[in-house]
Structure 1
Amino acid sequence: MLIVNKPLAIIGLILVFVAGFCPILQVKIIFEWVNWGLYKTDIRLFLITYSFIALLSLCFFIRQLKAFRLLTRVMFIWVLLMAAAVYFKSTHYFGMKIADNLLGKAIHFQWGWIILGIGAVLLLFSVKKERLSV
């Protein structure tokens, strides 16, 4: 039997939702630092992430616990893949070592990744399987 820790799940959903609007990257453009959220970083990552969040919320509120458990795992893996993809894209964008080193120095990860990661971990640990004792 699956059991959901509702406060943990709701806090995780809120954190993951809010993290998309937090600064994800800091980019230096012509002597000025600009903060980019998930939407400005890549629109596809933004849309896929928020579709996962919408499905997670739907499964949580209609009590489809097996689907919710599966989607929490998928969301955690997605956050890890998304962070790796953004890192590798920013450090290997041009394919030339000199240009990539300059670009790598101009792009820095921001605190939005921490919020996204904490939310994904809270969602991951909000569902547990428990044996039914009779």
Structure 2
Amino acid sequence: MSFRTTTHLNFRGAAREALDFYGSVFGGHVVVVTYQDAGAVRDGSEADQVMWGEVTGDNGFHVMAYDVPSQLPWSQGENPFFVSVRGDDAEEIGALWGKLAEGSTVVRPLEPAQWAPLYGMLTDRFGVTWVLDVAAPYHG
């Protein structure tokens, strides 16, 4: 079994700036997918905001980030991050999901998404929000 955990930071309109900053501090390659890139624009003013982004460095640094859309609640003090668990095997991710889901609130069911073979989000009984997905290559 092999999977990785990554801190997933949440912003409201500042994700790209934050990713660029963290990339300049820690080194690494910044990748950004906007809501427009993904065909998921709900509010035209947010089309260029980050739907999914990350910085990865050869030194092991890795952080993910996105801009929480305006139709979703967001408070920097209440939900500034998610814990992201990404794996290559749908069965393994499904098994982890099943265990984490006990007593949780499912934000988005674990199911295929436009950007991943499987993607889901839940808030566990301790108030921690987890994002689980099966990795898919990005060819932007």
TM-score range, shorter chain: under 0.3
Q: Using CA pairs under 8 Å that are at least 6 residues apart, name the structure with larger relative contact order, 1 or 2.
A: 1
Flag the structure with higher strand content: 2
Flag the structure with higher helix content: 1
